Structure 1
Amino acid sequence: VTPWGLTAVLISPFVSATRLYWFCIAWVHVLFWGARVFCGVTHRFTGAERLPVGQREAVILLAKHQSALETLALCALMPHPLAFVFKRELLFIPFFGWALGRLDMVHIDRRKRAEAFQKVAEQGRRLAAQGTWVIMFPEGTRIPRGQVGDYKTGGTRLAVATGVPVVPVACATARVMPPRRLLMQAGVYEVSVGAPISPEGHTPESLMHEVKTWIEAEMRRIDPEAYRAESAAAAPAGQLA
């Protein structure tokens, strides 16, 4: 983190935002090489063909949030620069936060909700106009494996305000890295991308309902072990026998 973050800060005045982004993502690729070689962690990535291919075609990615792993995995897997909407406290982390602050992303003060969304909407329109993909985690915080968080409508409000489609993303990363854990365990995690959903004719609430329905159904498909107790509880008594 230290040499890469410091270099990113030093070169940021002299390179484009896109070049700086890919320089930082090279660090992420090094991390995932290390995860594979030293920790035995690999991935499956499905649905990539559903992503837009045009350089100027914007989307808003709305992803399941299970651990710190998917925040990095999505950067490594997506073929397009991403702009995260994140809490401003991350900017104060030495080297990592300093480099993050030099990237073209959206940092908000979550204590000022009205101002925060106004900033997200303004920056979201600008990023959409230049074709950058905005990414948000509707649950807001990392949710333990097999559980469902409270899906907030910030991402779909942005989609309705800007007319940009949303893309739901299911991430079964807690298989190998549970929330708030720094240690990985060997295994395979999966990231699955859904089809873009147009905000046309939707309210933020109806659009988020569609996003949540797809993500949670897909989570049960890609990580059935996490929902085994739920399936057993829903099964008729005869089936359990």
Structure 2
Amino acid sequence: MALFRSVLHALWMLVTVVPWGIIMCVSSLWKRGVPLYWMAVRWLGWAIGGARVLLGIRTRVSGMENLPTDKLAGAILLVKHQSTLETFLMPTLMPHPLAYVFKKELLYIPFFGWAMARLDMIHIDRSQRAQAFNKVVNQGRKLLAQGIWIIMFPEGTRIPRGQKGTYKSGGTRLACETGVPVIPIAVTSAKVWPRKAFIKRPGVVDVSIGPAIPSVGRKPDELMREVEEWIEAEMRRLDPEAYANSPSRPARQEAVS
């Protein structure tokens, strides 16, 4: 049954992303910025709705009161990364437009990547570390000034359930450069949508949004340690079964942030 439901969801994603990608690319000829972003979020809502109906995956969110309420308040979201689910889910939850920092190779994915290329996102060349971070700072500063929040996965890649990757300080370096707070977010998506898995299982994904952590006067590494401690402690609280038998150990890294 899980395989059948997963096939149905994959078909749902396929048959909806093709027309959506075309509509996004055509609409971008006269519509850009925030209006186009909310058009993109509509398809992400279809993907998450399909996961709820076809896969039986529900989400339970706590900590929304920790998000900044001012319209132009900046924030950098640093999110635990276990599967594709949170990539689609976060824009559907947040009251502000988000700009992902991601590897430029994703832009070559037919329809989905083409649509992403029309949005105000920050795509980087991972082989050029210094230039990539300068691009993140320059574009991030402009986007934050417009009230667009930056979202990053500090571990850099999807991490198996119950494990911890190496937290890299790109997000906190950006926060210290721009003076905006960071918001740690724990997500238990691997319980139902494991890393690189085609077959998904029904269940509840917990999303816990932590208190905003000021960056002014902080050092990036110190700030990232605080983010890491909060996220990993929260992961153990939300999903104790995953951490019951062995201590967390760094997972093999596949990407940089």
Query: Considering the TM-score relative to the shorter chain, is it more than 0.5?
Result: yes
The more displaced of 3-12 and 25-34 is: 25-34
Say if 2:66 and 2:209, in contact at 8 Å, map to a contact too: yes
Query: Which residue, out of 99, 109, 113, partners 2:129?
Result: 113
Counterpart of 1:200 in structure 2 is 216
Tell me the TM-score normalized by structure 2.
Answer: 0.88
In the aligned structure 2, how far is the partner of 1:84 from the partner of 1:16?
16
Counterpart of 1:213 in structure 2 is 229
Counterpart of 2:188 in structure 1 is 172
> How big is the shift at 1:183?
2.6
Partner deviation per Cα, 1:158-182 (whole Å, 9 max, x = no partner): 0011101100000110011001113
In the aligned structure 2, how far is the partner of 1:31 from the partner of 1:225?
28
Partner deviation per Cα, 1:108-152 (whole Å, 9 max, x = no partner): 000000000000010111011111000000000110000000000
Unaligned runs of 5+ in 1: 232-241
Q: Residue 14 of structure 1 aligns to a residue in which SS?
A: coil
Partner deviation per Cα, 1:8-53 (whole Å, 9 max, x = no partner): 0000121241111111111111112211111111010010111011
Query: Which residue, out of 171, 187, 195, partners 2:203?
Result: 187
One-letter amino acid of the structure 2 residue matched with residue 110 of structure 1 = R
In the aligned structure 2, how far is the partner of 1:16 from the partner of 1:34?
27
Q: Residue 175 of structure 2 aligns to a residue in which SS?
A: helix
In the aligned structure 2, how far is the partner of 1:68 from the partner of 1:171?
11
Counterpart of 1:35 in structure 2 is 51
One-letter amino acid of the structure 2 residue matched with residue 91 of structure 1 = L
Q: Residue 25 of structure 2 aligns to a residue in which SS?
A: helix
Unaligned runs of 5+ in 2: 1-16, 248-257
In the aligned structure 1, how far is the partner of 2:172 from the partner of 2:165?
16
Counterpart of 1:14 in structure 2 is 30
Map 1:1-241 to 2 at 5 A: 1-230=17-246
One-letter amino acid of the structure 2 residue matched with residue 111 of structure 1 = S
> How big is the shift at 1:192?
0.6
One-letter amino acid of the structure 2 residue matched with residue 76 of structure 1 = T
- Give aligned pairs, total: 231
In the aligned structure 1, how far is the partner of 2:93 from the partner of 2:246?
30
Say if 2:32 and 2:118, in contact at 8 Å, map to a contact too: no
One-letter amino acid of the structure 1 residue matched with residue 214 of structure 2 = S
In the aligned structure 1, how far is the partner of 2:102 from the partner of 2:89?
16
In the aligned structure 1, how far is the partner of 2:198 from the partner of 2:36?
26
Q: Residue 229 of structure 1 aligns to a residue in which SS?
A: coil
In the aligned structure 1, how far is the partner of 2:133 from the partner of 2:32?
27
Moved over 6 A (4+): none
> How big is the shift at 1:201?
2.3
In the aligned structure 1, how far is the partner of 2:147 from the partner of 2:242?
36
Q: Residue 158 of structure 2 aligns to a residue in which SS?
A: coil
Counterpart of 1:236 in structure 2 is none
- CA RMSD for the aligned pairs? 1.0
Tell me the TM-score normalized by structure 1.
Answer: 0.94
Say if 2:180 and 2:216, in contact at 8 Å, map to a contact too: no
- % of aligned pairs identical? 55
One-letter amino acid of the structure 1 residue matched with residue 108 of structure 2 = F
In the aligned structure 2, how far is the partner of 1:67 from the partner of 1:5?
22
